[in-house]
Amino acid sequence: MARIYPERPLVGVGGIVARRGEVLIVKRKSEPSYGRWSIPGGLVNLGETVAEACAREVEEETGIIVEVGEVVDVCDYIERDSEGRVRFHYVIIDFLAAPVGGSLRAGDDALDARFVNTSELENYDLTVTTRRVFAKLGWLKESRI
């Protein structure tokens, strides 16, 4: 199914990978939100659980192997074009995830990947959905969402 102008919502997952006051973020290499920073993640494949998809996507985008924990947030991302047609529609499930191995690197689908101190997140051009979940976790102020 096409990601742009899809026939129905697509299911996406994200991994909130935190360690010692830092969180893992990636700079997006594709639309929507090209060039902005977000939680690593992607789409669920047919026959894959959402937790399996989260672990796979985090490793593909960042090289970090994770143990997937609890769901932190479920949100909709809907973007319409100037004619009101739905250009993108994702249902995103964000999980807490603990790093257990791997080596940090930006994968083929990310421009950059890095661990950032949560106190420095305001300095990054974060996607709307990333800002929302980080605010929910108390790492950002609600007023900038």
Domain residue extents for the chain: 10-144
CA dihedral 46, 52, 54, 58 (to 10 degrees): -110
**DSSP assignment of 27-70, as one string?**
EE-SSSSTT-EE-SEEEPPTT--HHHHHHHHHHHHHSEEEEEEE
pLDDT in the model for residue 2: 82
Residue identified by tokens 């902005």 is 36
For residue 142, the one-letter residue type is E
Question: Which residue positions in the chain have pLDDT lower than 50?
Answer: 143-145
Evaluate whether 101 touches 65 at the Cβ level (below 8 Å): yes
pLDDT in the model for residue 22: 98
- Domain 10-144 classification at class level: alpha beta
pLDDT in the model for residue 142: 63
114-126 pLDDT tens trace: 999 999 999 999 9
Q: Output the CA angle 131-133-135, nearest 5 degrees.
A: 65
